[in-house]
Structure 1
Amino acid sequence: MDAAWDAGIRFFDTAPHYGLGLSERRLGDALRERPRDEYAISTKVGRLLVPGDGTGTDDQGFAVPNTLRRVWDFSRDGVRRSLEESLGRLGLTRVDLVLLHDPDNHWKEAVSEAYPALAELRDQGVVGAIGAGMNQWQMLADLVRETDLDVVLLAGRYTLLDRSGEDVLLPLCRERGVSVVAGAVFNSGLLARHDPGGTYNYGPVPPELLERAREIARVCERHGVTLPQAAMAFPLRHPAVASVVIGMRSAGEVRQNMDLAARPIPDALWADLDALAASSS
């Protein structure tokens, strides 16, 4: 966090889901002495944390004890309770952005209860802006059409490897004045190294996607650009995209990524990558 601050990063994204509240507590601790008007925080609603049995570790991939567990709740009361508890963990009286978190299977409740609750909190000045964060673009597009969101966080669907959010969601957001934050620009790890590997969508990489990532890396290399450098810069080319969210787990990764982000990228690379994407579609 110190390295991120020193590098000029001022937007931090968290959620109760991440580490069963540990992410929010750590973020709040790290920012406690920073001037409140110099940074922005987004957190999320949709999963309440309730007591767990504490006999093991979290079953959703976080290395924390299961003293808490998640319960889906997009009700009005659930939204207000979730935000109140998040503020407590963060040690704050307000947050800048609150997102509906993965309402994929909860459309009716999210639209009829959670969204109106967030809109009310926005009107009251408790939160600065409201939106939704998902790993798909289709429901985000429906939310943009049917509600008055300020922001969508689109995870993994507008990247060098997966441009599926480009044709419908991004133009719709521009038309409606909704800002887009591009998340998972490395597709959960596959594009995080110049020699592609790791994971894709938090699981094993399908062979055909690994080969496509390697092909993209070869194109980048011809222009003197690394794959992660291009992956971070790619979404920001679109006028609907206001920012990117990048997961970084050490001070070294922060410094490395920010160094790459500061390097120029020739326009010719984007033309070649656009041509490659067109030929692969």
Structure 2
Amino acid sequence: MDNEMKLAVLIDAENISGAYIDIILSEANGIGDVIYKRIYGNWTTSQMASWKNTILDNAIQPIQQYSNTTKKNSSDSALIIDAMDLLYQNNLDGFCIVSSDSDFTRLASRLRESQKYVIGMGESKTPRSFISACNKFLYLDVLLTQTQETTVEEEEHTALAPKTCISHMDKSVPSHTDDIINEFSPDTTSGKDIKTIKQALIKLTEENSDDNGWIFSGTLGNLLNKQFSDFDVRNFGYKKFVPFIESLKMFEVNTITDTKNETVKHNYFRLKPLPRQRSHMIHRRNNRNK
């Protein structure tokens, strides 16, 4: 526990819906120990009423900020000032900034310059500049959809007969991936665009694999996360990295059981030959057999 990352969660209430609060706190608590939970907004306005019970139930400290002029979000400034105050107290390891607003791009960059870990959380509409400024960025709307779908599936599995459940579980991965591709518009810099991720996986594997082309799954995952702050297997409907990689059907998989602990598995990936390469290899093999 002493080595657990100490975090401050700072929420822009005027930009984020209270429907995400369970996901926000669950993700933050999964990353480290949440020391500060603060939420910013003009609590005299009717639009903030939906947050009232959420704040009380989760012991989040509301920070009041009046709007000095119309169409100006003064809460952003209050959040930024608080973040810098907390930074100079020097007892935090990271900050979780919850907003879809690009105004926090410079704040995220400044915190990282001070060697603090920055997690961004917002909706898919979040500007690329803020996403890229964070060490890690999570799409709250995507995670909420995944949570809702999981709940529905669990209810269906409980209600359906075993035969129907088997049919549901046998749903092919390619069609699942196609659904994800159609759901999100292509973005060559986005960690939620499947084509971009595939291209990155090829490049990272070719550059970092051993002499036989194998790369450890943990190494590949870390490299991908460093390249795309918003990469998360849950963006594509998966809970773990290895099943996601296997679903792409781009890699050979070698699973090794740990000699000291048989419950621990080490997964290694190697790119499969391209169709043209496979044809060439078969042609060469047939010539040798003549």
Do both proteins adopt the same fold according to a TM-score greater than 0.5, normalized to the shorter chain?
Answer: no
What range describes the TM-score normalised by the shorter chain of this pair? Answer: 0.3 to 0.5
Q: TM-score, with normalisation over the residues of structure 1?
A: 0.35
Larger Rg: 2
